[in-house]
Amino acid sequence: MKRKNVLALGLALVMSVGMLTGCGGKGSSDAGTTPGVTQGAESTGGTQAEATQGAQAPTEAPEPTAEPTKEATPTPEPTPTEVPDNIPDVTVKSFEVPTNEALQFVKDMKIGWNLGNTFDASECTWLSDELDYESAWCGVKTSARLIQAVKDAGFNTLRLPVSWHNHVSGENHTISEAWLDRVQEVVDMARAADMYVILDIHHDNNTEFLYPSSEYHEQSKHYIKCIWEQLAERFKDYDDKLVFEAMNEPRLVGTNYEWWLNPNDASCKDSVACINELNQLFVDTVRASGGNNATRYLMVPGYCASVDGALNANFILPTDTVENHLIVSVHAYTPYNFALNTKGTAEFDMDKASDVKEITSFMDKIYDKFTSKGIPVIIGEFGAMHKKNLEQRVEFAVVYIANARARGITCCWWDNNAFLGDGELFGLVDRASLKWHFEEVVDALMKYAE
């Protein structure tokens, strides 16, 4: 029997910064996704530009490597919630995971944490200094102490989402030196903490830069090539623990199929074909840059990085000059109504077969198509938002990670530094105070992460 204790925690104030989440308005990534359900964890429906409307100017934040100061106001404790006495055990089916270098590499990444709503912030038109994009959505600039705290909590991988289009100029999309330098500083912080790092192209999915359709295909190829030529050159001497991810959730933004891939629709078929070509161009560009990029591990997504996109019959892995150094990128906030839907349920029961099956079903399909054949998979984004339901989130976390690891999959929790209000609350660690608000969730994530 589960015993529940109630924490009496008071609210002193409501934080208005950081309530945006990170990837575009998410929904279930399962193959059984219902048409019309939103799919992403950055805004709840609508475009990213719409998601940023009404966001208040960011609070003053500490210097990148400084101690947190009173200028970066810590978030008060979240509302009262139920706390489990311990982390439950999970019994999962045994899976045969092939033995190869790539799967061992992904296994060693263990479990990841997204520095969400940070370098991925976009369209922040109120800012006069581009470097303030870093704190525009999350309220705090990144410190080495934060990265070390994440590492000390057990996370072995930092996913670093970066939107580049607000920081480029000219026909060849030359990245601002100041912006690129700052991104490199944070990569270096994570590497100094001996963490794996995943670096991507994030909120650049629009018709001016990167849009996976034939109409914008030449433009998109040019953008992908220009950005990855610059990133590959800057990081070509970094070791294998820096992983490049081609792009984040490529999709037909603003259409009926933005978050739902219809395998019979002509525009969806066209988009899948364009994504295949963009993934191939990404691989070719990185490999041609020399240095350690010749053998670096590279992540490639299917349509909107969904499970449906990866499972689609027309999705193909790029050809590569080095054997088995490609990783399939998938995002899965599943079960959607529990994990991501702000108007959904707060209930998840690890003893309820239907709740668990929503997770194991999509993982089985990913395992069958990729892992069982020696192709590694990383779930680059997952999580369950805070709904005053700590016990249920603990059960979700332990079930999700136990099942993923049994199938040779590594997962990265989406953290947007959001804790209060009625938005998508995925925060685990308060970046101003370095306090972990949901230590039980972290413990549950770590229990089967090895």
Tens of pLDDT, residues 34-80 = 333 334 555 333 333 333 323 333 333 333 333 333 345 677 766 54
Q: What are phi and psi of 66, to 5 degrees?
A: -85, 165
Is the peptide bond preceding residue 335 cis, with omega within 30 degrees of 0?
A: yes
424 is a catalytic site residue: no
- What is residue 77's predicted lDDT score, i.e. its pLDDT? 67
HSE, CB side, 13 Å, CA atoms: give it for residue 136. Answer: 22
Two tokens at 417?
């530094």
Taking the C-alpha atoms of residue 128 and residue 284, their distance in angstroms, rounded to an integer, is: 36
Q: Which residues of the chain have pLDDT under 70?
A: 1-73, 77-85
The angle subtended at Cα 44 by Cα 403 and Cα 212, nearest 5°, is 80
Instruction: Give me the pLDDT at residue 86, please.
Output: 87
pLDDT score at 5: 35
Q: What is the pLDDT of residue 228?
A: 99
H or E stretch at 271: helix 266-287
Residue pair 420/410 in contact (Cβ under 8 Å)? The answer is no
Question: Looking at the DSSP assignment, which residues form a beta bridge with residue 111?
Answer: 411
CA distance 447 to 90: 10
Three-class secondary structure assignment of 160-174: ECCCCHHHEECCCCE
Q: For Cα atoms 379, 383, 388, give the angle at the middle one, nearest 5 degrees.
A: 170
The residue annotated as part of the active site, out of 249, 258, 358, 440, is 249
Rounded to the nearest 10 degrees, what angle do helices 390-406 and 439-447 cross at?
20
What pLDDT sits at residue 448? 97
- Of 165, 202, 203, 325, catalytic: 202
Is residue 221 within 8 A of residue 176, CB to CB? The reply is no
Beta bridge partners of 5: 83
Q: What is the dihedral of CA 313, 375, 320, 237, to 10 degrees?
A: 140
**pTM reported for the whole predicted model:** 0.87
**Integer Cα distance of 201 and 244 in angstroms:** 9
**DSSP conformation class of 317:** P
Cα 440 from chain centroid (whole Å): 21
325 is known as an active-site residue: no
Q: Cβ–Cβ contacts within 10 Å for residue 401, how many?
A: 25
Is 249 a known active-site residue? yes
Residue 79: predicted pLDDT: 54
**21-47+57-447 is a CATH 3.20.20.80 domain:** yes
Tokens 């080495």 map to which residue?
Answer: 144
In contact, 167 and 177? CB cutoff 8 Å: no
DSSP annotation of 351 reads: T
> So what's the pLDDT on residue 23?
54
Coil, strand, or helix at residue 378? strand
DSSP 130: G
Q: Pick the catalytic residue: 381, 391, 424, 440?
A: 381
Give the C-alpha distances (Å, rounded to integers) separating 28 from 33, 72, 382: 6, 34, 10
Report the sign of the C-alpha dihedral through residues 394, 396, 397, 399, in that order.
positive
pLDDT at 177: 98
**CB of 21 closer than 8 Å to CB of 114:** no
pLDDT in tens, 103-127: 999 999 999 999 999 999 999 999 9
Domain regions of the chain by residue span: 21-47+57-447
Going from the C-alpha of 73 to that of each of 137, 146, 390, the distances in angstroms are: 14, 15, 24
Which pLDDT belongs to residue 125?
93
Contact 90, 349 (CB under 8 A): no
